[in-house]
Amino acid sequence: MVLERKYAIEEAITFSVRNTLEAEGMWRKLKDAVPSANLTDDSAKELLSELTSLAASKAIEKVMQWAHEHDLSTHWEALDRSDMITPALMEITNESTTKPDSSVPATELKNHLLAQKRKEVDRLQTILSEEENIIADLKRQVDEQEGITRQLKENVDATFKDCIQKLENDASDDSLH
């Protein structure tokens, strides 16, 4: 549960940091640097990716530290602490040459989240399958009950007709005497 909360926090912050970097014009700055630094578009994208990863890692580290210190019951409380993300981004602009921390890499996080989603889909499909089996069983039981009810109705009708016939026969026998 704690690991899931950590990954949920990291996922949300990573997307937030990426959006913030793009909004702050980091991509434009990198594009402007391409001609002077002899970078290709691919290497500029790679540099942006590293910068984003570093920013995310710093922001995640600060928010996770805050979350741990405050013994959060849910990860949403940590996400509301956006005031911690901004200083992390400010640090990043001063440390653009450093490598990302040893925190969870984005691809590992993405793979973990995908695996969690697949497990959840599998779990839901299992529940759906079980529910469909229950519904099929209930339909079968209803059909059986309808068959039994139909048979009972036919028996009651036949018994009623026999009783009427017997009463009519008794009445005609009585009238003959």
What's the pTM value of the predicted model, to 2 decimals?
Answer: 0.33
Q: With 90 as the cut, is the pLDDT of residue 155 above it?
A: yes
Pair 55, 122 in one domain = no
Residue 33 to residues 30, 59, 158, 177: CA-CA distances in angstroms? 5, 25, 96, 124
Per the structure, the complete domain to which residue 72 belongs is given by 2-104
Q: With 60 as the cut, is the pLDDT of residue 144 above it?
A: yes
Q: Could you say which of 51, 71, 104 is where a domain stops? A: 104
Query: Is the separation of the CB atoms in 92 and 54 below 8 Å?
Result: yes
> What is the C-alpha R_g of the chain?
36
Q: What is the mean pLDDT of residues 64-80?
A: 54
More confident residue, 69 or 96: 69
Q: With 50 as the cut, is the pLDDT of residue 22 above it?
A: yes
- What pLDDT sits at residue 76? 43
Pair 99, 168 in one domain = no
Which band of pLDDT confidence, cut at 50, 70 and 90, is reported for residue 160? Answer: very high
Q: What is the mean pLDDT of residues 18-45?
A: 57
- What pLDDT sits at residue 139? 94
Q: What is the mean pLDDT of residues 62-69?
A: 62
CA 145 to chain centre: 40
Instruction: Tell me if residue 11 falls in helix, strand or coil.
Output: helix
Pair 87, 147 in one domain = no
